Structure 1
Amino acid sequence: MRTETHRLTWQGIEIELTYKPEDYGGVIAHLEIKSINPDRAPLPITETGYRSHFHPVGTVEANEGTLVTQVTAWLDEAAKSKAWKKYIEDSRQLCLFD
């Protein structure tokens, strides 16, 4: 079973991608996304810094760009959410009240 490992830095967070293009009998592909520096830093697609994503084989390959560019686009899109913007704002200032 082939496994690819990629690293990228997104908004100052180092992220590791582990991708198995044919997992679980060749029907499902598996992508793990993990923030590694800072360890388990929240991302707009996961509050815990870890996300396991299953999808049909060939999904990544059918889309434009590399796995890294696709995950970066996913993070960029998710970062537009109100929840992520609030998280960033709260992180920048001392939050006395929730």
Structure 2
Amino acid sequence: MEPQTYRFAWQGIGIEATYTPLRWRVIDHLEIHSVEPQGAPLPITRTGYLSHFMQPGTIEAHGGDVVAQVIAWLDEDAAKPEWRAHVEASRQGDLFA
């Protein structure tokens, strides 16, 4: 199947998600990039890029809305202490960087 590309914003970060069902006719593939600002860290990837493989039909089994599922994933990981510490450090700046 053809890749489906979506652009959306999450907490002020522009994101592009490309979902390819049955990539190589074997597995579903989701690529997530932070595009504005480019390479901005996200709770699911410190580099702003993530390549994620999943069982065929996973997206569809959860309602089929790629953007809603990526946002839910980001929100879930944003609640973790590591991400909250990153956000706090970003606000204050790092004197030792």
TM-score bin, normalised by smaller chain? over 0.9
Counterpart in the other structure of 1:4: 4
Counterpart in the other structure of 2:53: 54
Report deviation, 1:64. Answer: 2.8
Task: Give a deviation string over 1:45-88, Cα, whole Å, max 9, x none.
Answer: 00000000001110000013511000000000000011100000
Q: What stretches of structure 1 of length at least 5 have no aligned partner? A: none
Counterpart in the other structure of 2:16: 16
Counterpart in the other structure of 1:41: 40
Q: Which amino acid letter does the alignment assign opposite residue 8 of structure 1?
A: F
Taking the TM superposition and a 5 Å limit, the aligned residue runs for 1:60-75 are 60-64=59-63, 66-75=65-74
How high is the TM-score relative to the length of structure 2? 0.94
Q: Which amino acid letter does the alignment assign opposite residue 67 of structure 1?
A: V
Taking the TM superposition and a 5 Å limit, the aligned residue runs for 1:18-33 are 18-25=18-25, 27-33=26-32
Task: Give a deviation string over 1:22-42, Cα, whole Å, max 9, x none.
Answer: 1122x2000000000000100
Q: Secondary structure at the match of 2:7?
A: strand
Percent identical pairs in the alignment equals: 55
Cα RMSD of the aligned pairs, angstroms, is: 1.3
Q: Secondary structure at the match of 1:5?
A: strand
Counterpart in the other structure of 1:76: 75
Q: What stretches of structure 2 of length at least 5 have no aligned partner? A: none
Report deviation, 1:16. Answer: 0.1
Q: Write out the 4+ residue segments of structure 1 that deviate beyond 6 Å after TM superposition.
A: none
